[in-house]
Structure 1
Amino acid sequence: MSFLSPRFENGLLSRLSVEDVALLGPLERVELAPHNALEVANRSVESIYFIERGFASVVADDADGGIIEVGLIGPEGMTGLAVVHGVDQTPFSTVVQGGGTAVRVDPEYLRAALADSPSLHQLFMRYAQAFAVQVASTASANGRLLLEQRVARWLLMVGDRLGESFQITHEFLSVMLAVRRAGVTRALQDLEARGLIRTMRGVVAIIDRAGLAEFTNGAYGLAEKEYANLLGPESEAEVVEAKEPKHYRKVNY
């Protein structure tokens, strides 16, 4: 009988059998601080991160030397999808935005595991598909939505990963959405006036999730449904008593 690994807080690792987890080699739990670069554009992927708490932004450079967010990764996913696709680098960077923890894996172990385990390969390819839908949805939202709707979608996505209340600055959100700070301020004020969120001292609280999702005019939910459809619920196989295995150690990043 195949057992689940000791309970990870990452949605992908928690779906793997003990045998598949063992194929990933030595695992390190690392602390992730805001602004840490997990991947650098056009450089070889040095480590794979399965985020357990916090979130990271996948960002692209724009023509004016700024950046724009094209994807979010939180406890549901992983970095290093280039490796899953059989290459060793990507034109995008991945940067920690909400600090937390992650399980770090060496890319060479991941490559070997993908080759050795059909079940692990299938799971990670399904996540890659779900993430591709998220990126496409973001591109669609950037092209057709009002700024207020884009902000609403972003808040929902971050809320999925951090909870219904989290710290955020107007400046940071303006950078991620590649818009003026004043526009973000007006958008947040509009959402608050509609009774969808509450803001106070750099904290945003979602108080009407259903209303906020409806306000996005369908832009929120497609990628989330794709993730649920492709990966399904976490396995109901018997769980090994949660304790850190010998190949699992905690380090600072």
Structure 2
Amino acid sequence: MHRPENKLLRQLPQAARQQLLGHCELCELSLSTELSVRGQPLRHAYFPTEGFLSLVIDVDSHPALEVGMLGAESMLGSELVLGLAATPWRALVQGAGAGWRIGTNDLRAQCDALPPLQKLLQACLLVRLHQQTLAAACQRYHLIAPRLARWLLMSQDRSRTESFHLTQEFMALMLGVRRVGVTEAASLFQDSGLISYHRGELTVLNRKALEAEACSCYAADKDIYQRLMHVGA
């Protein structure tokens, strides 16, 4: 039986990986749990093995907006490699799962002791910078339907399943648009046989067609990860 792994940890040399995991603990990632608070020091870094997180930012009285998503291909807390402990976003568990957790001081100590780990976190941080820059441009220039297709594909990639629970309110929140816009786009995809959606349960029926509807940022996002992390998709 395949055991879920974190893609970053898998890249470490075996001895370094075992040393790092000796300072980690397994933890459950429960839906809607807030793992980091904006402006407050991080207490732990997380390496998800299942499930995925949304990085959301709050601006004045506006609804929260997603500025990043990560799952088993990444980690929460790569900025610690720069000595930073506070972040400008909140990290919310969007898809329930599990992962490895390590205290921030322990992670810093392991980065000093394990050069491959420090290099990996630097690459991870660079990927996030590039992806968040791309996401900002995507929100400014691309229409709701292509953005929704991209977001659904990203969610499916990290959930590793065809079906997952999503409300239209949550989709609108993550895309930073009004609910009516998401409703229209989702209805279009459903009428075209790309997805089915009923009472918050969404199933991707035709992934290839959904990929054709997604904006170019979906492929660009994956390319950024592959180039900077030097791994396959």
Q: Does 1:13 align with 2:9?
A: yes
Render the CA deviation track for 1:122-167: whole Å, top value 9, x for unaligned: 1221122222222122111110111111111100100110123211
Q: Supply the distance in 2 between the matched residues of 1:81 and 1:232 (Cα, whole angstroms).
A: 17
Structure 1 counterpart SS, 2:139:
helix
The residue type equivalent to 1:16 in the other structure is: L
Counterpart position of 1:146: 143
Give the 5 Å matches for 1:25-104. 25-104=22-101
Over the matched positions of the two proteins, sequence identity in percent amounts to: 35
Q: Does 1:174 align with 2:177?
A: no
Counterpart position of 2:194: 196
Is 1:34–1:99's contact at 8 Å kept on the other side of the alignment? Answer: yes
Counterpart position of 2:219: 221
Q: Supply the distance in 1 between the matched residues of 2:202 and 2:25 (Cα, whole angstroms).
A: 32
Q: Supply the distance in 1 between the matched residues of 2:50 and 2:4 (Cα, whole angstroms).
A: 11
The residue type equivalent to 1:205 in the other structure is: T
Structure 2 counterpart SS, 1:221:
helix
Q: Supply the distance in 2 between the matched residues of 1:132 and 1:105 (Cα, whole angstroms).
A: 23
Q: Supply the distance in 2 between the matched residues of 1:226 and 1:74 (Cα, whole angstroms).
A: 16
The residue type equivalent to 1:31 in the other structure is: E
Counterpart position of 1:113: 110
Long gaps (5+) in structure 2 = none
User: As a proportion of its length, which structure holds more helix?
Assistant: 2
Give the superposition deviation at 1:24: 5.5
Q: Supply the distance in 2 between the matched residues of 1:171 and 1:15 (Cα, whole angstroms).
A: 37
Structure 2 counterpart SS, 1:88:
coil
**TM-score computed with the length of structure 2 as normaliser:** 0.90
Choose the corresponding residue for 1:207, options 192, 205, 208. 205
The residue type equivalent to 2:40 in the other structure is: R
Is 2:4–2:50's contact at 8 Å kept on the other side of the alignment? Answer: no
Is 2:79–2:125's contact at 8 Å kept on the other side of the alignment? Answer: no
Q: Supply the distance in 2 between the matched residues of 1:153 and 1:217 (Cα, whole angstroms).
A: 6
Give the superposition deviation at 1:43: 0.6
Structure 1 counterpart SS, 2:217:
coil
Is 2:7–2:73's contact at 8 Å kept on the other side of the alignment? Answer: yes
Choose the corresponding residue for 1:126, options 123, 130, 144. 123
Give the superposition deviation at 1:229: 2.2
Is 2:165–2:202's contact at 8 Å kept on the other side of the alignment? Answer: yes
Q: Supply the distance in 2 between the matched residues of 1:128 and 1:213 (Cα, whole angstroms).
A: 26
Give the superposition deviation at 1:78: 0.6
Aligned length: 228
Is 1:59–1:94's contact at 8 Å kept on the other side of the alignment? Answer: yes
**TM-score computed with the length of structure 1 as normaliser:** 0.84
Q: Supply the distance in 1 between the matched residues of 2:141 and 2:106 (Cα, whole angstroms).
A: 41
Q: Whose relative contact order is higher, 1 or 2, with alpha carbons under 8 Å and at least 6 apart?
A: 1
